[in-house]
Structure 1
């Protein structure tokens, strides 16, 4: 099925209305997901000696890191595999297969709309956090040029393509939730969401750059706070694009044989 702008706009409106209807629940999800990053600045302010550093970060730089991470992650990080797996398990996928628009387009627009809405809902919370931590912020070396925002967009596509690929496993496995739960262990550690990648041992931080998790939230955040020089970021942006292509390619390989396994009546 080819791409149709008219159908895409119709889907955009449908999912936007759906998201707005559940905006209160959305705020709760935002707070639940963001609590660790909201609290961690306080931990590092207390841990870093006055005028000192830990892992090359001052207390003020830790605060900036987590606030930027929070802002970016609300747009970047996708959790759509739970809904897609539920569609497959309950047989809802059958309805989508009969519609004149591809399931991939439905999922992509659904995901993108929720990311936009979630970022919008987070904006006032982010304003309060900026106000609360303003005296503890240091913008020295920070950068928010077009390369950073391009990396944010690519990071979102890396995250979405990765979970979309994982969701294809639900076509083969009766219960894919265990796989999804395991996914969060490396994702949280290697995407910089618990702590900056640069605090890991050198071998671990280097290994992280060979996995897709780093190219979701960690790379855009590192670019924004000045931990990665923007002058040499082009190869890293190309790596992001490479992971996006690889994930969608594998998802395409899994889709057709997966449909042959799909019963169409739910489980």
Structure 2
């Protein structure tokens, strides 16, 4: 059953040259972003040695890893536009006439780009860690690295589900692109993309803990940096898996209802 989707993934892998060039194109901007972050936090840490449990170099490494993750995960946001376009233009009929599942097809076309980018990104992460090894106080272990890799895959699944879910609303909503933009803003605030969630007041941290967004960036980075104790690590890792499964089930249900609505309207 999945051989056809694996073929799709294989085709995506053959585009490694294109992915690498796209990734390098994004990485070109990293030094500029990194310098802005560096000098901002350098100023903040001029009167503090630790902020929200992060030393200066831990904070800098947090944002460096975040930038790499963003370059790998953020492109999945195009899923909403592609789905909206396929439904509105009637191109969805072409996919429905094939012996494939459209959601699974979309997933495999996106995960190929993610896998290559995260592999390239890990190389860059280890390079900077090697350069700053004497200054970064990081509890880096093989288990943390492996869990980080698994966690980033799950974060990709969460991100894909969120944007595919918004795209599926096209069956009922004329323009979902505004909803997509609002989702981007919510993710920025509650995923640790602007500040590590540890910096938020306790009431907001608790609010974040019941939402899926912290599992996109903050938790994978915390795992890599060794910021989570064994009990907390297990709790958050399970929470991430639960959200990935829950969003997948919600997507399946809404997609099935959407397809019925699409068919009844002669789509």
TM-score between both structures, scaled by the size of structure 2: 0.83
Contact 1:41 1:66 (8 Å CA) reproduced: no
Distance 1:207 1:95 in 2: 42
Residues 264 and 117 from structure 1, CA distance in 2 versus in 1: closer, same or farther, beyond 3 angstroms? farther
Question: Does 2:59 correspond to 1:62?
Answer: yes
Contact 2:69 2:217 (8 Å CA) reproduced: yes
Distance 1:34 1:203 in 2: 34
Q: Which residue of 2 aligns with 1:141?
A: 139
Contact 1:93 1:264 (8 Å CA) reproduced: no
Distance 2:24 2:260 in 1: 39
Distance 1:22 1:52 in 2: 39
Question: Does 2:182 correspond to 1:182?
Answer: yes
Q: Unaligned stretches of 5+ in structure 2? A: none
Distance 1:82 1:252 in 2: 19
- Range that drifts further, 234-243 or 64-73: 64-73
Deviations 1:77-129 (A, max 9, x none): 43122222222222221111111211122111111101023234546765776
What stretches of structure 1 move > 6 A for 4+ residues in a row?
32-35
Measure how far apart 1:251 and its partner are: 1.2
- What does 1:95-244 correspond to in 2, within 5 Å? 95-122=94-121, 134=132, 137-143=135-141, 145=143, 146-244=146-244
Measure how far apart 1:17 and its partner are: 4.3
TM-score between both structures, scaled by the size of structure 1: 0.83
Q: Which residue of 1 aligns with 2:5?
A: 8
Distance 1:183 1:203 in 2: 21
Distance 1:218 1:140 in 2: 16
Q: Unaligned stretches of 5+ in structure 1? A: none
Residues 157 and 33 from structure 1, CA distance in 2 versus in 1: closer, same or farther, beyond 3 angstroms? farther
Higher RCO, 1 vs 2 (CA within 8 Å, ≥6 residues apart)? 1
Question: Does 2:91 correspond to 1:71?
Answer: no
Number of aligned residue pairs: 261
